[in-house]
A = this chain, B = another copy of it.
Amino acid sequence: MPGTLHLDGFLPYRLSIASNRVSNVIATAYQSLFGLRIAEWRLIAVLAESDGMSQQALGIATRMDKVMVSRAATALHDRGLVQRAPNPADQRSHLLSLSKAGQDLYEQVSPKALALERQLFSGFSAEEVRQLRSMLERLEEATAAFEPQQG
């Protein structure tokens, strides 16, 4: 029977299911433990490594569009977790960085995130993890061919 499809065997479906479940686990943990949403956590993680970034740079680093970044950034700013300094090079943008409170929170969240990751992937060998990483990366690249234009 040519052209027939079995849903359970359809990889985009399996990928979506697995990814959404993992995201739910992570989102629930962050929310209940730290009151953070995933988008906010992503900004914190990036800012913890490189201080003083514009929102558009954050957007690139986290693969989120500027609206998502804006929403997450104001939420974090309102909670006093990130600071906004004027950007000397461009008056439309500000440079974001973690406040002391933000750094402290990061130090709490970060090990918890890694522990969750370890637990979720505890059944995976180091080699499998390496392979999975590689596959996800290639998959992401493969989708670029479908972008509307100018990826």
Q: Hey, which bits of chain A sit against chain B, CB under 8 A? A: 2-7, 9-26, 28, 38, 42, 45-46, 48-49, 61-63, 107, 110-111, 113-114, 116-117, 119-124, 128-129, 131-133, 135-140, 142-143, 145-146
Give complex CA distance A2, B111 in Å: 8
B7 in contact with A46 (CB, 8 Å): yes
Number of copies: 2
Residues of chain B within 8 A of A124, CB atoms compared: 135, 138
Other A-B contacts than A7-B42, A128-B131, 14 sampled, CB-CB below 8 A, are A3-B111, A4-B110, A6-B49, A7-B45, A11-B132, A12-B22, A14-B136, A15-B18, A18-B136, A18-B137, A18-B139, A28-B146, A119-B145, A132-B132
Nearest to A121 among chain B residues (CB) is B11
A15 in contact with B22 (CB, 8 Å): yes
One of B11, B18, B22 near A117 (C-beta < 8 A): B11
Question: Known contacts being A132-B135, A133-B14, is A62 close to B113, with CB within 8 Å?
Answer: no
